[in-house]
Amino acid sequence: MRSRKFGRTSWQVSEIGYGGWGIGKAWWGGADDAQSLRSLEKALEVGINFFDTAYVYGDGHSEILMGKVLKGKDVYIATKIPPKNHVWPGLPETPLKEAFPADWIRSCTERSLKKLGREIIDLTQFHCWTDAWLKDDDWKTAVERLKKEGKIKAFGVSINDHDPDSALELVQSGLVDSVQVIFNIFDQSPIERLFPLCQKHSVGVIARVPLDEGGLSGSLTKATRFDDADFRKNYFKGNRLNETVERVEKLKIFLGPEASTIPALALKFILGHEAVSVAIPGMRNPKNVVLNAGVSDSTPLKNETIMALRAHAWKRNFYGGGID
């Protein structure tokens, strides 16, 4: 497993990390805890040392599972503080005090410390953001205090879906250690402005949703059906699933010696950008952990392949309610 420096911190993180949304069960139509625990153990075994979770991934369930397996291990755990008003995305018209007031930042940090069973959180992230909140000083003081008290080591934000430009000012402000952003073959938008700024200001980049919620897993077909409890029933509703499968079909011309599967191609595309510190595929199955970790051990994509994949960007937002 190759590692990369995490922004301005001294951390060396595995370039494949662990996405912990699915194991929290919420929105993913259930997961088997025993299998999730085996996946986390397998992640340690294959050299993954960066784990991403959030309180809202099952009201602490994902944090608890990680806490169990990662206890005493020399790894980095990133969690997230939800907005107090439970409104996603972060909107400029929302006052900061409704989303991330100082007492909320502190109480959520303490709650996550308990769920994780740790003394200190390596990276705490706001679960959404808008640059309009930059002018407010309360959150800055709250974060600084938590750092001074030794409750958190680093601070970042998770950027609104498909809107990398909503955190450009924050990246330039020097106030964050990292940003978490959607970056995959379909959504390449961070390449334009966010990534160059992160490189300039040494801000770590966590590439989330690397497999487009399964769209780039290579396992969806036009006949795939999702359970009612799986949010992807909505994500891939209407003609979205057919469109996704047809887009993936076009990617198959890239399969060969450089990458033999669609998920390997998708992860290598992400790792091909040097602004990226870590890609965090969601993995509820130990088999996927082994496959994804293996991507880091094999030869990177050639630059010309990456450039050809740039033509496969696809602008859309499947998280929204309407049928696109």
Cα(120)–Cα(117) distance, rounded to whole angstroms?
9
Supply the DSSP string of 274-303, one letter for each residue. TT--EE--B-SSHHHHHHHHHHHHSPPPPH
Closest by Cα among 40, 53, 270 to 158: 53
- Interacting stretch for ligand NAP, rule CB under 6 A, among 1-9, 243-251, 287-295, 303-311? 287-295
Of the residues 124, 244, 288, 296, which one makes contact with ligand NAP according to CB under 6 A: 288
Report the alpha-carbon distance of residue 254 to residue 234 in Å, rounded: 29
Tell me how far apart the alpha carbons of residues 149 and 158 are, in angstroms, rounded to a whole number.
23
Asked if 79 interacts with ligand NAP (CB under 6 A), we say: no
Which listed residue (4, 25, 42, 127) binds ligand NAP by CB under 6 A?
Answer: 127
Residues 213-232 that bind ligand NAP (CB under 6 A): 213-214, 217-219
Q: Site for ligand NAP (CB under 6 A): which residue of 109, 124, 158, 296?
A: 158
Q: Closest CB to ligand NAP among 101 and 281?
A: 281
Choices 109-117, 193-201, 209-217, 242-250 (CB under 6 A): range interacting with ligand NAP: 209-217
Is 282 an interacting residue with respect to ligand NAP (CB under 6 A)? Answer: yes
Using the rule CB under 6 A, is 61 a contact of ligand NAP?
A: no
180 forms part of the interface with ligand NAP (CB under 6 A): yes
**Residue 292 is a binding residue for ligand NAP (CB under 6 A):** yes
47-53-59-61 Cα dihedral, nearest 10 degrees = 0
105 neighbors 138 (Cβ within 8 angstroms): no
- Whole-angstrom Cα distance, residue 277 to residue 38? 25
User: Binder to ligand NAP among 7, 22, 90, 164 (CB under 6 A)?
Assistant: 22
- Residue 187, interface with ligand NAP (CB under 6 A)? no
3-class secondary structure, 323? coil
Candidate residues 208, 230, 241, 309; the one interacting with ligand NAP per rule CB under 6 A:
208
DSSP 184-220: SSS--GGGTTHHHHHHHTT-EEEEE-TTGGGTTSS--
Interface region with ligand NAP, contact rule CB under 6 A, candidates 147-155, 239-247, 269-277, 284-292: 284-292
Nearer to ligand NAP, 137 or 209 (CB): 209
For residue 152, the cross-strand partners are 121
For residue 148, the minimal CB distance to ligand NAP (Å) is 26
The answer to whether 130 contacts ligand NAP (rule: CB under 6 A) is no
Looking up tokens 């978490």 gives 180
CA 291 to each of CA 3, 94, 209, 261, 284: distance values in angstroms, whole numbers, following the listed order: 17, 42, 17, 10, 13
Nearer to ligand NAP by C-beta: 11 or 186? 186
Residue among 213 and 304 whose Cβ is closer to ligand NAP: 213
Could you list the residues that contact ligand NAP (CB under 6 A)?
19-22, 52, 127, 158, 180, 208-214, 217-219, 263, 280-285, 288, 291-292
